[in-house]
Amino acid sequence: MTQTNITWIEGAIVENEIHMSIVELSQAASTSEELIMAWVTEGVLSPTGSSPQDWRFGGDSLSRTKTAVRLSRDLEINTPGLALALQLLDQISDLRAQLVRIASSKKD
Amino acid sequence: MHFKGQDHHAKILIDLVDAYNGAKRTIALHMPTLDISGHVTTQERKLDVSIPKGIKAGQNLRLSGQGGPGMGEGGAGDLYLEIDFHPNPIYRVDGKDVYLDLPLAPWEVALGTTVKVPTPAGTTLELTIPANTIAGRKMRLKGKGIPSKEPGDLYVVTIIATPPADTDTQKEAYQAFEKAFEFNPRTHLKG
């Protein structure tokens, strides 16, 4: 009888466990470090650390950067417009979450 | 020349129970590759992945070195798996909190009862429904949401299910019910 040993690949949850450098974020989101720097200046991304070499991007930085890449590439939105678009998307997401909660307690 | 390989991205659907207990899944990815003549074709690649307990919809799982091949000693890129949940007919998910609608009979909400409530983890909890519970009451089962350092909560929301009156006996029961109460559920409509 043959026995197959499967090696299960363990991953790390980006939002909980990983704090990316600007190089890693740029590679993971397929965008340039210059653009990431511009987005940090505009408040689109908020890394910890004082200089680009020390920056560490945690939490939802990767998904936020991927959204920013899509918006800037597909819709050609400039950086201030991007900051506004992401702020509005955040608000929509918060409101959707509130809807779930309200729908579950509308008769409270 | 040394270059790290490209990072790859894919989206996978898991069950809510996988986020509660963790899971091992074999996933098939269709990766674009160049054939000998330089044409782009898709090649299936199977990966045995361990889904960590506590992962939430919208989060990304990074599998180091499972992306595109590197050049020289650059090393392979990483594979990012964006997680989403299969739609669930019983539970709704809001971040790390989970909601369950619990149907109760009119006599159960009026008199109070104890019911068995399934959890996404596959366990069953006993929940006491106090007398005179109203529809839409939200009962929080602290820490029974998606697990993490600060686990989410499981909210059980009461809904009232009324049985149809099909037989004469059942109709009489409803008529007796009506006589026993001076109840107008539409007083707020002033109609």
Segment A5-44, tens digit of pLDDT: 778 999 999 998 899 999 999 999 999 999 999 999 999 9
Q: How confident is the model at residue A107 (pLDDT cuts 50, 70, 90)?
A: very low
pTM to 2 decimal places: 0.83
Q: How confident is the model at residue B74 (pLDDT cuts 50, 70, 90)?
A: confident
Over residues A100-106, the mean pLDDT reads 68
Supply the CATH number for residue B161's domain: 2.60.260.20
- Regarding whether B117 and B79 lie in a shared domain, the answer is no
- Regarding whether B99 and B61 lie in a shared domain, the answer is no
Provide the edge-to-edge strand list for the sheet that holds A12-13: A12-13, B60-63, B79-85, B8-14
- Regarding whether B171 and B126 lie in a shared domain, the answer is yes
B81 close to A (CB below 8 A): yes
End-to-end, the C-alpha distance of chain A in Å comes to 61
Cβ distance of B66 and A106 shorter than 8 Å: no
Residue of chain B minimizing CA distance to A66 = B9
* Other CB atoms within 10 A of residue A35 CB: 19
Domain contains B191: no
Q: What is the pLDDT of residue B43?
A: 84
Cβ distance of B92 and A6 shorter than 8 Å: no
Instruction: List all residues 6 or more positions away from B48 whose beta carbon is below 8 Å from its beta carbon.
Output: A6, A7, A8, A9, B24, B25, B26
Residues of chain B contacting A108 with CB distance shorter than 8 Å: 136-138
A28 close to B (CB below 8 A): yes
Cβ distance of A9 and B47 shorter than 8 Å: yes
pLDDT score of B94 more than 80: yes
Q: What is the pLDDT of residue A7?
A: 85
In whole angstroms, what is the distance from residue B100 CA to residue B141 CA? 11
Q: What is the pLDDT of residue A29?
A: 94
Cβ distance of B134 and A63 shorter than 8 Å: no
Are A39 and A69 within 8 A, CB to CB? no
Segment B8-64, tens digit of pLDDT: 999 999 999 999 999 999 999 887 777 888 888 888 889 999 999 999 999 999 999
Task: Calculate how close chain B gets to A101, using CA atoms only, in Å.
Answer: 8
Q: What is the pLDDT of residue A106?
A: 55
In whole angstroms, what is the distance from residue B41 CA to residue B33 CA? 5
A5 close to B (CB below 8 A): no
CATH architecture, domain defined by A17-103: Orthogonal Bundle (1.10)
- Regarding whether B116 and B43 lie in a shared domain, the answer is no
A16 close to B (CB below 8 A): yes
Q: What is the pLDDT of residue B191?
A: 57
Are B113 and B129 within 8 A, CB to CB? yes
Cβ distance of B59 and A14 shorter than 8 Å: yes
In this structure, is the dihedral angle defined by the CA atoms of residues B183, B188, B190 and B191, taken in order, positive or negative?
negative
DSSP A105: T
What residue numbers bound the domain in which B142 lies? 91-181
Q: CA separation (Å) from A107 to B93, B101, B137, B138, B168?
A: 19, 13, 7, 9, 33
Which pair of structure tokens corresponds to residue B95? Answer: 């971040």
Cβ distance of A16 and B59 shorter than 8 Å: yes
Amino acid at site B102: L
Phi, psi of A39 (to 5 degrees): -70, -35
* Other CB atoms within 10 A of residue A65 CB: 23
Instruction: List all residues 6 or more positions away from B161 whose beta carbon is below 8 Å from its beta carbon.
Output: B103, B104, B105
Which pair of structure tokens corresponds to residue B38? Answer: 């330089």
Amino acid at site B85: F
**Of the residues B35, B69, B85, the one at which a domain ends:** B85
Residues of chain A contacting B150 with CB distance shorter than 8 Å: none
- Regarding whether B119 and B76 lie in a shared domain, the answer is no
- Nearest CB to A11; choose among B49, B92, B134: B49
**Of the residues B35, B54, B85, the one at which a domain ends:** B85
Model ipTM over 0.90:
no
Nearest one of B93, B102, B85, B100 to B146, comparing CA atoms: B93
Q: What is the pLDDT of residue A108?
A: 45
